Amino acid sequence: MQPLDEEQMRGVAKLVFANKQDLPRAMSVSDITDGLGLSGVSQPWSVQASCAVSGAGLVEGLDWLSDRILNRRT
19 is in an annotated binding site: yes
CB 48 within 8 A of CB 61: yes
Calculate the CA 21 to chain-centre distance.
14
21 is in an annotated binding site: yes
Calculate the CA 58 to chain-centre distance.
11
5 is in an annotated binding site: no
CB 19 within 8 A of CB 34: no
Which segments are annotated as binding site for GTP?
Answer: 19-22
Which segments are annotated as binding site?
Answer: 19-22
